Amino acid sequence: MPRTSALECPGCPSIRALTFDVLGFVKVTEARGKQGGVPKVVERWGEPDSSKCVLAASIDDRKPDPLLAVARKNGLIEVLSPLNGDLRVSISNVGDAGLQSEDNSIVGLHLFRKQMSDLSSRSCTLLTCTTKGNASVRSIEVPKSPVDSINSGSSTTWNVCAAGNILCSKVDGNENYALFGGKGVEVNVWDLEKCTKLWTAKSPAKNSLGIFTPTWFTSATFLNKDDHRKFVAGTYSHQVRLYDISAQRRPVISFDFRESPIKAVTEDLDGHTIYVGNGSGDLASFDIRTGKLLGCFLGKCSGSIRSIARHPELSVIGSCGLDCYLRFWDTNTRQLLSAVFLKQHLTNVIFDSNFDGEEPVGSSADLQSNETQDVDEIQDGDEEVLPVKRKKAPKENRASKKLKPKKKCKKLKGEIADDAS
Amino acid sequence: MGGKRKKCESEERDGEEVDGGDPSNSNKRQILPSMIKNKEKRSAVHAILKHQKKLEKRKKAKARDAAEKRALELGEEPPPKKTPRTIENTREFDETVCKPDDEELFAGNDADEFSSILKRECTPKILITTCRFNSTRGPAFISELLSVIPNAHFYKRGTYDLKKIVEYAKNKNFTSIIVVHTNRREPDALLIIGLPDGPTAYFKLSKLVLRKDIKNHGNPTAHKPELVLTNFTTRLGHRIGRLIQALFPQDPIFCGRRVVTFHNQRDFIFFRHHRYIFENRESKQGDSKVKKSKGTKGENIPQEKVVARLQECGPRFTLKLISLQHGTFDTKGGEFEWVHKPEMDTSRRRFFL
């Protein structure tokens, strides 16, 4: 009989992920069941149109009325409902900036979770940033029915950089600060309320050969939810750097990862683990406190990783990119949970944390407490079951090497990491 | 050798230890000639086994033939012929294989980089260049490529950076660049860059046979050739197929009777270039009569039958995809759509194109 090697995927816990691709589709992938659910594409929103290529997306997954903001290539920003894909508002970015959208496309989009105090509850606030550095914060009224370009709320626009191209922008956990960086633009942090620049990075010194690597940031993320002072940035010259505003203007830690540009950086909930994806499809996790590689995520990932998302509750990350696959990984074991083929080059992935694996609930007002409990239960279940799987391989190692305990432990970790890489 | 032997011994010992648990397994093991350490003995056992196998095979074939004959005599349908199991038809299941009813695929095709050429909105214009240092077989190969691909222009490489050449070609409205890389005077790699923003495919090139080395080769005419792409099944294969298709004009001149074939088999892309001709030949009466008397399929053979004949024009080579890059050539900072990684080699029945 032909010898085949089926990839054993343990399946994922109940998750719901939204992916965005170059044809402008939004695809919803769901895995149901407590353990071992196989994720499937359940919905697809949008019509194929390459001018509607999704550039950035952001979700506000509050319980009563979640919203999803999507920035398209043709300059439109659409606010959708992540539950059924209904278009709530669509605004054009082209008009107010007065610039061509061709070379001034949106690179950063953030949907604010907290309400701006002076506005009614049915509004949402958006931060957008374009390649040329036009950042703007605007509030939009979300009407009941989808009406084109309602822009009744206030909007403030400022310019982040004089020259160069912005490639990444991020808003911190408390949504008071934002960072911007890009090609020829050092990472800079802005206070969103006052629209003032707080801090700019300084490029690292020339190396021992006197060669200066030009500034080119490709991705960035804040390290901690409540701390806007520490953030991690990935560069085109395959470096990952940790910046600390309170310490110095040059990177605190900087290390190399493989040989192609870092395309995605995402932080973990614990505040010291980061996930790094690069242009040739390598995904790894690092401990940013020491700059040590914790391990690589191996799973036949053959195309550039465009986006990594961390599930807010479960220990799962999702990654997607040019190889048209959405992959779910366990963060503890670094094992591939499952891979879904989504047919298009993907640009973004986002988790919907309100999903609990049950059939969709109509009015979730009184079920909310149940939901949260469910999620907790799932998480507990994970922690009980998964470690067994995880420990299998290292245990064997450990058994054979247990003659000299304690001291070997550190070495072992290193070895495992080496093996993984 | 020594190590192997030791391994054998240990295996045997293992077998003995397990013996009580699984007797059938250990029996099977004892028969294997590879377990026998004495060479003469081993070869003797092996010869016996081989002979038995041969006999069995012959018996099977005889039985099969007899069954077929009997079925024919009785006027029944002969038993269906079995298809041999090959690596291709036992290929591992791949969910990325394109399906004909996939509307997303067609939408993606419409939006991709080659659609303007393939919809005949613009004609392909190819720039062919070399690596920095090339001699003998490289230029010879290029001159043959120029005769294969219509509207191809050779430019001396000089000492220009490839990125500069890409810029230049963009300004001159080229639609693709082909770079032939030579190593030790032998072409060994092919780089196909789609312009202005199309993907970059890097192929390993091997088994190159030039036209003059092909026996009875023909000389191609200047007609636009027909293109045959076979077996590009997966999403990646489809994309590579379109990349290759975009090198050739989409309106072949059929009276030229020239055909260029890219045949994919087990991820190797075989290139062949032929001239074909349909000839009307007098079929021999005697032959068909004999066939008629035998009662096979002789009835509907016409008096004149059309015979297709092929003449190879060369060159002849094999390509293997190494990587597919998003955007134009950029080795340092490029984003890959597909790169081969060792962890993907889980089985010899897994193919990517």
For the cut 60, the answer to whether the pLDDT of residue B206 exceeds it is yes
pLDDT at B36: 86
Q: Is residue B190 part of a domain?
A: yes
The residue-averaged pLDDT of B117-137 equals 90
Which of residues B101 and B162 earns the better pLDDT score?
A: B162
For the cut 60, the answer to whether the pLDDT of residue A14 exceeds it is yes
Nearest chain A residue to B324 by CA: give it.
Answer: A303
How many domains is chain A partitioned into structurally?
1
pLDDT at A391: 41
Of B72, B90, B123, the residue that ends a domain is: B72
On whether both B267 and B322 belong to a single domain, the answer is yes
Handedness of CA B100, B101, B106, B109 (dihedral sign): negative
List the domain range (segments joined by +) for residue B245: 103-278+310-344
Cα B78 from Cα B177, distance rounded (Å):
54
pLDDT at B192: 95
Q: Is residue B290 part of a domain?
A: no
CA dihedral angle for residue A33, residue A39, residue A44, residue A45, rounded to 10 degrees: 70
pLDDT at A72: 87
Mean pLDDT check: name the lowest of A311-325, B143-157, B210-224, B276-290. Answer: B276-290
Q: Is residue A186 part of a domain?
A: yes
Backbone phi, then psi, for B199, in 5-degree steps?
-75, 165
Of B33, B52, B72, the residue that ends a domain is: B72
Q: Is residue B239 part of a domain?
A: yes
Q: Is residue B95 part of a domain?
A: no
Handedness of CA B33, B34, B40, B41 (dihedral sign): negative
How many angstroms separate the CA of residue A6 from the nearest CA in chain B?
A: 8
Is residue A147 helix, strand or coil? strand
On whether both B255 and B320 belong to a single domain, the answer is yes
On whether both B150 and B226 belong to a single domain, the answer is yes
Q: Per-residue confidence at B285, pLDDT binned at 50, 70, 90?
A: low
Task: State the amino acid at position A27 in one-letter form.
Answer: K
Mean pLDDT check: name the lowest of A81-90, A162-171, A305-314, A402-411. Answer: A402-411
For the cut 80, the answer to whether the pLDDT of residue A421 exceeds it is no
DSSP H/E element including A19: strand A15-21
Q: Quick check: B111 and A22 CB within 8 A?
A: yes
The residue-averaged pLDDT of B3-22 equals 43
Instruction: Choose from B99, B113, B236, B336 for mutation: most chain A CBs within 10 A.
Output: B336
Which of residues B325 and A355 earns the better pLDDT score?
A: B325
Q: Is residue B335 part of a domain?
A: yes
List the domain range (segments joined by +) for residue A197: 160-256
Average pLDDT score over chain B: 84
pLDDT tens digits, residue range A263-290?
999 999 888 899 999 998 899 999 998 9
pLDDT tens digits, residue range A24-65?
889 999 888 766 678 888 888 888 888 888 999 998 877 777
Q: Quick check: B337 and A345 CB within 8 A?
A: yes
Q: In 3D, which of B197, B275, B280, B283 has the Cα closest to residue B243?
A: B197
Alpha-carbon separation of residue B214 from A376, B147, B269 (angstroms)? 71, 16, 19
The residue-averaged pLDDT of A106-123 equals 72
For the cut 60, the answer to whether the pLDDT of residue B328 exceeds it is yes
Mean pLDDT check: name the lowest of B149-163, B166-180, B284-298. Answer: B284-298
Q: Quick check: A48 and B92 CB within 8 A?
A: no
For the cut 70, the answer to whether the pLDDT of residue A375 exceeds it is no
Q: Is residue B86 part of a domain?
A: no
On whether both B14 and B113 belong to a single domain, the answer is no
How many domains is chain B partitioned into structurally?
2
| CA geometry: angle A132, A280, A241, nearest 5 deg | 60
Cα B60 from Cα B77, distance rounded (Å):
20
Which of residues B285 and A289 earns the better pLDDT score?
A: A289
Is residue B120 helix, strand or coil? coil
pLDDT at B111: 85
pLDDT at A37: 77
For the cut 70, the answer to whether the pLDDT of residue B15 exceeds it is no
Cα A155 from Cα A175, distance rounded (Å):
16
Percent of chain A surpassing pLDDT 90 = 20
Q: Is residue A21 part of a domain?
A: no
On whether both B63 and B109 belong to a single domain, the answer is no
Q: Is residue A171 part of a domain?
A: yes
For the cut 70, the answer to whether the pLDDT of residue A379 exceeds it is no
pLDDT at A358: 61
Mean pLDDT check: name the lowest of A128-137, A348-357, B38-47, B206-215. Answer: A348-357
On whether both B7 and B107 belong to a single domain, the answer is no
The predicted complex's ipTM stands at 0.77
Average pLDDT score over chain A: 78
The CATH number covering residue A210 comes to 2.40.10.480
* Contacts with A92 (C-beta within 8 Å, 6 or more apart), sequence order: A75, A76, A77, A149
Cβ atoms within 10 A of the Cβ of B320, count?
17
Mean pLDDT check: name the lowest of A5-9, A80-84, B11-15. Answer: B11-15
On whether both B111 and B241 belong to a single domain, the answer is yes
Q: Is residue B303 part of a domain?
A: no
How many angstroms separate the CA of residue B311 from the nearest CA in chain A?
A: 38
The CATH number covering residue B162 comes to 3.40.50.10480
For the cut 80, the answer to whether the pLDDT of residue B216 exceeds it is yes
Which of residues A219 and A355 earns the better pLDDT score?
A: A219
Q: Which residues of A touch B (CB under 8 A)?
A: 2-5, 7, 22-23, 25, 48-50, 236, 260-261, 263, 279-281, 298-304, 322-324, 341, 343-345
Instruction: Choose from A43, A282, A343, A344 for mutation: most chain B CBs within 10 A.
Output: A343
Concatenated DSSP letters of A236-299: TTSEEEEEETTT-SS-SEEEE-SSS-EEEEEE-TTSSEEEEEETTS-EEEEETTTTEEEEEE-S
Q: Quick check: A344 and B104 CB within 8 A?
A: yes
Task: State the amino acid at position B64 in one-letter form.
Answer: R
For the cut 50, the answer to whether the pLDDT of residue B87 exceeds it is yes
* Contacts with B227 (C-beta within 8 Å, 6 or more apart), sequence order: B244, B245, B248, B252, B259, B260, B261, B262
Q: Is residue A232 part of a domain?
A: yes
Q: Which residues of B touch A (CB under 8 A)?
A: 85, 90, 92, 95-96, 102, 104-105, 107-108, 110-111, 235, 326, 332-341, 343-344, 346-347, 349-350
With 0-12 / 13-18 / 19 or more C-beta atoms within 10 angstroms meaning exposed / middle / buried, residue A178 is buried
The residue-averaged pLDDT of B309-338 equals 91
On whether both B44 and B120 belong to a single domain, the answer is no
For the cut 90, the answer to whether the pLDDT of residue B76 exceeds it is no
Cα B176 from Cα B247, distance rounded (Å):
7
For the cut 90, the answer to whether the pLDDT of residue B143 exceeds it is yes
Q: Is residue A384 part of a domain?
A: no
Q: Do B321 and B351 contact (CB within 8 A), yes or no?
A: no
Q: Is residue B146 part of a domain?
A: yes
Q: Is residue A316 part of a domain?
A: no
For the cut 90, the answer to whether the pLDDT of residue A352 exceeds it is no
The residue-averaged pLDDT of A165-180 equals 89
Mean pLDDT check: name the lowest of A163-177, B198-212, B225-239. Answer: A163-177
pLDDT at A377: 42
pLDDT at B264: 94
Are β-strands A87-92 and A147-148 bridged in parallel, bridged antiparallel, or unpaired? parallel
Q: Quick check: A260 and B90 CB within 8 A?
A: no
The residue-averaged pLDDT of B214-220 equals 90
Which of residues A368 and A206 earns the better pLDDT score?
A: A206
Strands (E), A39-105: 40-45, 54-60, 67-72, 76-80, 87-92
Q: Quick check: B105 and A23 CB within 8 A?
A: no
